[in-house]
Amino acid sequence: MGILEVKDVNKRFGGLQALGDVNLSVAENTVHAIIGPNGAGKSTLLNCLVGKLIPDTGSVMFDGQSVLGRTPFEINQMGISRVFQTPEIFGDLTVMENMLIPCFARRDGSFALHGIRSVTSEAELRDQAEQMLEDVNMLDKRNMHSASMSRGDKRRLEMAMCLVQNPKLLLLDEPTAGMARADTNNTIDLLKEIKETRDITIAIIEHDMHVVFSLAERITVLAQGTPLVEDSPENIKGHPKVKEAYLGEAA
């Protein structure tokens, strides 16, 4: 039994079968990559996991509980954090404030009236946030207005916001899209370090095969809404079906 079990999930948008009988099992404490050509249904699948979309049929179990019918914030409280394809951060807030929101969410749940206590008095959470910022090399930017940062920094901040929650499952939607090579390598190093130091399961959707093969322990190839093969990276590399899906039959 994996920590995430997707069974017979179907999702249809009008005449388009976006997902057809998807079965996926992500084992605990592994890095599982989901790859596939454009339009394969990767993002649809991800949206079904976090409560943004509800599958027409099938079940999605996380840690023994169904996530279907739950709202995104409830699913996050279960232990799933998500990094978006384009960085989603609180642009009007400073970097430190961005980090504190997930800290509050983890400590106080989905809603808490904090009375008139001051943010500055939350020493423990500030320490956690600063520690996390240091891990992603952003401590010097903590008082920056987050909207004014570079795209790479925004992405690192979003990753840090997810990680500071200590999620059981981290979902990454193309975490290195649009990044410079150096930033991509930094992200790979960061994720490797996280994997080694924490009990965390990572599911990653990625186009960059360099990233996929440096991180993934298990790879699922999705094509036209159905999983084609699931195997270790070594076996995926030379798999004829995968080549066919990416390059067309002639290859």
Partner 1 sequence: MFGLNKKDGSLLLLVVALVVFAPFLLNPFPESSGWAQFNAGYPDLMQRFVIFGIFAIGFNILFGLTGYLSFGHAAFLGVGSYAAMWMFKLFGMNVLPALALSVVTSGIFAILIGYVSLRRSGIYFSILTLAFAMMSYSLAYSVLATDMDGPDKQGLLQKGLTGGETGLQLTQSDPRIFGAQTTADGNIPVPSLFGLEMRSATELNVGDWVFTFSAGYYFSAVIMLLAFYLSIRIFRSPFGMVLRSIKSNQQRLNYTGMNPRPYMLAAFVISGMYAGLAGGLMAAMDPLAGPERMFWTASGEVVLMTILGGVGTLIGPVLGAGAIKYMENIISKINSDILHSWFAFLPDGLEDIVVTMIYPFIGKGWHLTLGIIFMLVVIFLPGGLVQGGQKLAAMVRRKKTDDTKTATTEPAE
Q: Which two tokens stand for residue 123?
A: 């020493």
C-beta closer to partner 1: residue 106 or 195: 106
Q: Which two tokens stand for residue 88?
A: 């989603």
Closest approach of partner 1 to the CB of residue 91, in Å: 6
**51, burial (CB in 10 Å: exposed 0-12, middle 13-18, buried 19+):** buried
Rule CB under 8 A: choose which of 18, 22, 45, 100 binds partner 1: 100
Rule CB under 8 A: choose which of 14, 64, 111, 249 binds partner 1: 111
Q: Which two tokens stand for residue 210?
A: 């360099």
The DSSP bridge partners found for residue 173 are 205
Is there binding between residue 234 and partner 1 (CB under 8 A)?
A: no
d(CA 168, CA 78): 8
C-beta closer to partner 1: residue 88 or 140: 88
Q: Which residue has the tokens 């997707």?
A: 6
Looking at residues 156 to 185 of the shown chain, list those that interact with partner 1 (rule: CB under 8 A).
161, 165
Per-residue mark of binding to partner 1, 123-162 (x: CB under 8 A): --------------------------------------x-
Is there binding between residue 38 and partner 1 (CB under 8 A)?
A: no
Backbone angles phi, psi at 66, to 5 degrees: -75, 140
C-beta closer to partner 1: residue 205 or 245: 205
Rule CB under 8 A: choose which of 21, 56, 63, 122 binds partner 1: 122
3-class secondary-structure state, position 226: strand
**Region at 23 (left for phi over 0; alpha for psi -120 to 50; beta for the rest):** beta
Closest approach of partner 1 to the CB of residue 111, in Å: 4
Rule CB under 8 A: choose which of 17, 23, 77, 185 binds partner 1: 77
End-to-end CA distance of the chain: 36
d(CA 156, CA 159): 5
Is there binding between residue 104 and partner 1 (CB under 8 A)?
A: yes
Task: Tell me the window of 13-21, 94-102, 197-205, 228-236 that interacts with partner 1 (CB under 8 A).
Answer: 94-102
**Region at 110 (left for phi over 0; alpha for psi -120 to 50; beta for the rest):** alpha
C-beta closer to partner 1: residue 87 or 225: 87
What separation in angstroms does the CA of 186 have from each of 59, 76, 141, 181, 205? 36, 26, 17, 9, 18
Closest approach of partner 1 to the CB of residue 84, in Å: 8
Is there binding between residue 192 and partner 1 (CB under 8 A)?
A: no
- The residues of the shown chain that bind partner 1, judged by CB under 8 A, are 50, 71-73, 76-77, 81-82, 84, 88-93, 97, 100-102, 104-106, 108-111, 113-122, 161, 165
